[in-house]
Amino acid sequence: MKSAFVLLTALVALTAYYVYLPLPSTVSDPWKLMLLDATFRATQQMCNLVHCLRLSHHLRVLNYVIGTFDKLEPSSSEQIKITDALFDGVEVRVFEPSPKQDETLKRSVVYIHGGGWALASARTSFYNNLCRIMAESLNAVIVSIEYRLVPEVHFPEQFHDTLRATKYFLRSDILAKYSVDPGRIAISGDSAGGNLAAAVCQQLSLDDSVTNKLKLQALIYPVLQALDFNTPSYQQNTDMPVLPRFVMVKFWIDYFNGNYDFAPSMLINNHTSLDVSQAVYFRGRLNWTSLLPSTFKKNYKPVIQPRGKAEIIQEIPALLDIRAAPLLAEKETFQLQPKTYILTCENDVLRDDGIMYAKRLESAGVEVTLDHFDDCFHGCMIFTIWPTNFSSGHRTRDSYIKWLAENL
């Protein structure tokens, strides 16, 4: 009995040690976040073991786990009709509110899910729930794009999928089929989905063949650049749960089908050092010392290496491709963007990407709403259902939907 008690005590202590993380005092629901992060880490470590044994790619295994436990078939209700369709060969899930008396046309949101261009799905409970609530709250047609993922495809295929699906939906005959008002369409996405939404929005603004233009874009803690992994938010939130800095760098490398050996150099900005000529052209567009307010710069210093590894950009030139890094676009492109909403979280490595994008849009004359949450973390907006039901998820989601309701 005594040995069993000692063993149990040791197991409890080890579990607590694995779960516990020092978090800022301002983070809401800290113990929930620790448990969520511990679950993520344990699952990722299991998948990494499978990868190391050369049984399968770790991202393929992780998506299999997600799909096995969390993918939902389209299930309509009296309020919302949910169907799966193909838009120019790209899978989408469409959420249509029931017609109302004397109503002619509805507004619409094209939504692109997050997951580091490699994980999740429009069909998971998280995104199914979000899009259903959006459709009900806004009385809007929601098109959720099921783009292809790493490792099956890499950049620029995710961009091409989301662009093709969005352009198809913007055709007048397709809008008429779904009873959508051509003047009331937004594009939106979270995290990597926010990246794709911003990139698609930029591309469509430059495409004269597209006659029905987007009225709004709404970007939720978007990832927008791979030039600088030492912005104040990257330095402040290096080991923050859900999306630590090293994980974000690996997502970028996977997106470009690059070499993991580059990760340590990229973490200290060796890929964009002063002797990397290709990066010099873009440096002025991503000077956080001038783009960020002092409240976000705090006491952090820029990390600029005099000499680095030019071979990284040579082998992965897409790191500086505007379609992958919309924050690096020219001012003329920013001037063409629609009215914009950007949601950022204090406890997120990507906080400054969103804030700098807002600043560049404002400088280009675009109306921007920057909605910043001091106590929230990356990914929180989709965590609104059991067992990942966070107060921060409800607050961010409600604020986002409120903005869409007032502006779309």
Return the active site residues: 191, 348, 378
296, HSE (Cβ side, Cα atoms, 13 Å): 27
Task: Find, among 114, 144, 23, the residue nearest to 383 by Cα.
Answer: 114
3-state percent breakdown (helix, strand, coil) of the chain, nearest 5: 50, 15, 35
Helices 391-407, 125-138: crossing angle, 10 deg rounding: 40
Radius of gyration of the chain (CA): 21
132-137-143-145 Cα dihedral, nearest 10 degrees: -60
- Going from the C-alpha of 245 to that of each of 195, 232, 236, 314, 375, the distances in angstroms are 17, 12, 10, 23, 19
Q: Which amino acid is at 149?
A: L
| Spatial separation of the C-alpha atoms in residues 290 and 356, rounded to whole Å | 9
Q: Which amino acid is at 2?
A: K
Helix (H) or strand (E) holding 95: strand 90-97
Question: What does the DSSP 8-state code read for residue 71?
Answer: B
- Residue 276 pairs in a beta bridge with none
Residue 80 token pair: 């919302």
Cβ contact 44:251 at 8 Å = no
**3-state SS class at 215:** coil
Q: What is the DSSP string of 373-398?
A: EEEEETTGGG-EETTEE-HHHHHHHH
Helix (H) or strand (E) holding 218: strand 216-220
Helix (H) or strand (E) holding 201: helix 192-206
Cis omega (within 30 of 0) for bond into 24: no
